[in-house]
Amino acid sequence: MKLVILDRDGVINEDSDDYIKSADEWVPVPGSVEAIARLSQAGCKVFVASNQAGIGRGLFDYDAFAGIQSRMLQKLTELGGQVCATVFAPEHPDHATEMRKPNPGMLRDIARRMQMSLDDVPFVGDSWSDIQAARAAGASPVLVRSGKGRQTESAGHDLTGVPVYDDLAAFVSDWLS
């Protein structure tokens, strides 16, 4: 069984410095929904691991988050894709727990649920905290340039051994080939 873990904002959907606060604000990165459908149809288990500090900051609530998730899952279902689960860290960054990236808690939770190691499991993200979380959890970090990925790539972080793709669709095309 192949497992893939994805960050949400900036990887699956367009990101915003003002946060994605409602289903109406959720706009997929071009090709991302189709890429997840391809993963699903290839027999891969897809999980999402996402910091959601907007909840902790009081910018939106759990009902709004559920609405955003519902829209994403509806778009995926329309194309034959699915996400096994979304694990998220709702806390404010000033009160971060082990679950909030760059900590590895969300990824370790997925490994526990799946009863497997994260060795060779890609975690696709667009931020330095995604890369750090993947490394700390023993997963294989992958950077996409969508979202904040171009900024992350040019920020001078140590990306040794981290493959970089333009977007999720490019990663999936390469990974499934």
Q: Is the pTM of this model over 0.95?
A: yes
Does pLDDT of 7 surpass 90?
A: yes
- Considering only CA atoms, give the Rg of the chain: 15
pLDDT at position 123, please? Answer: 98
What pLDDT band is residue 104 in, cutting at 50, 70 and 90? very high
Strands (E), the chain: 3-6, 45-51, 85-89, 122-125, 140-144, 164-165
Pairing of β 3-6 and β 140-144:
unpaired
Q: What SS3 state is found at 117? A: coil
Question: For 41-85, how does the pLDDT look when each residue is reduced to its tens digit (9 = 90+)?
Answer: 999 999 999 999 999 999 999 999 999 999 999 999 999 999 999
Q: What distance in Å separates the CA atoms of residue 37 and residue 136, rounded to the nearest whole number?
A: 28
For range 101-109, the mean pLDDT? 98
Among 96, 134, 95, 142, residue whose Cα is nearest residue 118: 134
The DSSP output letter for 158 is -
What are the phi and psi torsion angles at 164 (to 5°)? -120, 130
- For the stretch 19-33, pLDDT in tens is 999 999 999 999 999
Helix, strand, coil shares of the chain, percent, nearest 5, are 40, 15, 40
Q: How far apart are CA 73 and CA 127, in angstroms?
A: 23
CATH of the domain at 155: 3.40.50.1000
Compute the average pLDDT of residues 6-11: 98
Residue 61 belongs to domain spanning = 3-176
Q: CA-to-CA distance for 152 and 99, rounded, in angstroms?
A: 21
Report residue 162's pLDDT band, with 50, 70 and 90 as the boundaries: very high
The catalytic residue positions are: 7, 9
Domains held by the chain: number: 1
Q: Is the pLDDT of residue 116 over 90?
A: yes
